[in-house]
């Protein structure tokens, strides 16, 4: 079996996301991708919001939904659209 050197162990970072009231920071490529979904495309969010309003619909999504979809739906103005 091959072992990692101490240097390789120290430089390898466990994927993590740190969320504070003012910042989101990510460590590792997987965490960086997940964190990017917390700031979804504004135009896409507004298009979805307009469609919800125009069609008078609500959205129910499973807890384990796609992170990108979850981030986008999370940006919908909940006070105007409580059924999202």
- Taking CA atoms, 41 is separated from 10, 25, 78, in Å, by 35, 18, 17
Tell me the per-residue pLDDT of 25-44, one tens digit each, with 9 for 90 and over: 899 888 888 888 888 889 99
pTM of the model: 0.59
Q: What does the pLDDT look like over 39-74, one tens digit per residue? A: 888 999 999 999 988 998 888 777 677 878 888 888
- Round to whole Å and give the CA distance between 65 and 14: 23
Q: Closest Cα to residue 30, out of 43, 19, 41, 14?
A: 14
């Amino acid at each position: 079996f091959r072992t990692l050197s101490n240097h390789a162990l120290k430089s390898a970072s466990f994927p993590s996301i740190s969320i504070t009231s003012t910042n989101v920071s990510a460590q590792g490529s997987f965490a960086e991708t997940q964190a990017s979904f917390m700031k979804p495309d504004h135009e896409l969010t507004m298009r979805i919001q307009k469609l919800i309003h125009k069609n008078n619909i609500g959205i129910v999504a499973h807890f384990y939904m796609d992170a990108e979809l979850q981030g986008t739906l999370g940006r919908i103005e909940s006070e105007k659209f409580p059924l999202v």
